[in-house]
Amino acid sequence: MTVIDIDDLIEDPKDGGLELLDCVVVGAGPAGLTAGLYLRRFHRNVRIVDAGASRALQISRSNNCPGFPSGVAGVQLLERMVRHLRQVDGFVLHDTVSHILRHPDDSFVVCLSHEKLWTRNVLLCTGVKDRQPDVAGVDALVSADLLRQCPVCDGYEFTGKHIGVIGNSLHGVKEAAFIRHFSANVSFIEIAAKTPCTRLDVAVHSAGLHRIPGVARHLAVDADHKAFVTMDDGSGHRFDVLYAALGADPRSQLGSALGASVDERGNLVTDAHSKTSVPHLYAAGDVVSALDQISVAVGHAAIAATAIHNDLSSA
């Protein structure tokens, strides 16, 4: 939990000689970099702060990114976006925002590790963190690109393949049923269950899925570059690919600490202009309650940046 120094609360940012910015964008994934680009192109005084953990960095090759018919690696996409931002004198501060304070005049003081930023608006583009299966061998599968997170992103690439879906809840069963659209050969693999087993069994059965008996104990990559799952009864099962269907944790704490509304999964709730329930606090991308996709993050960010610009113009 963030500890807020009482001195931070009473300090007047003007006395600290801070420049009043138009906007601080927290996060430089696809959402934050798009927002930064738009705001700079509106001639706005913006700072973008990033802790370096974009989900996009995990994308070996995205094939559903419009305009990239041969696909694009997440690293490459982010590099191109940073280059585009630099063209308009935008840049990223590599740091972590520990907390954000509300000043009585409705501005914000954004606290980084060694400096503070004073701003009229804050845009949170902080993303989510995927939950990985707590099973031995998981790192080897991730390195081999055999453990996927997002069937909306890459289910198409595994059309007709033998797919294992690792889950521990009804959410996992729902995701496995979604994946079944791409292949009839989908098995549900349980890790320590969150939902009582009989309910999971019923859900798996009614979704028409095959369930591997027992609980997964070990994951590995075999000699043919297939995913190999060993269950607690000693049985082994090979798959072309595995999906982790365990959900994700939104990085929404900076917003909720300021009183912004979140949904039941912890995502920030925004209106059609990307505004949260806190005045001058906006949010875009995966951290918002919506489909977790690059195109959605980019769209949210364009809307948020334009709304921020319009609000500043009418103030």
Ligand X SMILES: Cc1cc2nc3c(=O)[nH]c(=O)nc-3n(C[C@H](O)[C@H](O)[C@H](O)COP(=O)(O)OP(=O)(O)OC[C@H]3O[C@@H](n4cnc5c(N)ncnc54)[C@H](O)[C@@H]3O)c2cc1C
Residue 55 binds ligand X, judged by CB under 6 A: yes
Tokens of 48: 């973008």
Q: How far apart are CA 35 and CA 274, in angstroms?
A: 12
- Of 24 and 189, nearer to ligand X (C-beta) is 24
133 binds ligand X (CB under 6 A): no
Does residue 58 interact with ligand X by CB under 6 A?
yes
Which residue stretch of 15-23, 25-33, 159-167, 186-194 sits at the interface with ligand X (rule: CB under 6 A)? 25-33
Minimum Å gap between C-beta 100 and ligand X is 9
Stretch that binds ligand X, among 219-227, 230-238, 275-283, 291-299 (CB under 6 A): 291-299
Does 164 help bind ligand X (rule: CB under 6 A)? no
Q: What is the C-alpha to C-alpha distance for residues 124 and 76, in angstroms, rounded to an integer?
A: 23
Q: How far is CA 113 from the centre of its chain?
A: 22
**Cα separation, 284 vs 294, whole angstroms:** 11
Q: Say how far residue 250 (Cα) sits from the centre of its chain.
A: 7
CB 30 within 8 A of CB 37: no
- Residue with Cβ nearer ligand X (173 or 284): 284
Q: What is the C-alpha separation between 54 and 255, in angstroms, rounded?
A: 18
Measured from the CB atom, is 172 or 203 closer to ligand X? 172
Q: Smallest distance from the beta carbon of 117 to ligand X, in angstroms?
A: 12
Q: Does 109 bind ligand X (CB under 6 A)?
A: no
What is the C-alpha end-to-end distance of the chain, expressed in Å?
Answer: 35
Asked if residue 277 lies in contact with residue 124, where contact means CB atoms within 8 angstroms, the answer is no
CB of 115 vs ligand X, minimal distance in Å: 13
Between 62 and 230, name the residue whose CB sits nearer to ligand X: 62
Phi, psi (rounded to 5 degrees) for 23:
-160, 140
Applying CB under 6 A, the span of 22-30, 132-140, 170-178, 225-233 interacting with ligand X comes to 22-30
DSSP 82: H
293 makes contact with ligand X (CB under 6 A): yes
Torsion sign across C-alpha atoms 290, 293, 297, 300? negative
Inter-residue contact 211 to 187 (CB < 8 Å): yes
# of chain residues touching ligand X (CB under 6 A): 39
Identify residue 245 by its one-letter amino acid code.
Answer: A
Is residue 54 a contact residue for ligand X (CB under 6 A)?
yes
Nearer to ligand X, 48 or 189 (CB): 48
Complex with ligand X: residue 204 or 248, whichever CB lies closer: 248
Residues that bind ligand X (CB under 6 A): 26-32, 49-56, 58-59, 62, 64-65, 96-97, 125-127, 130, 149-150, 153-154, 251, 254, 285-286, 292-295, 297
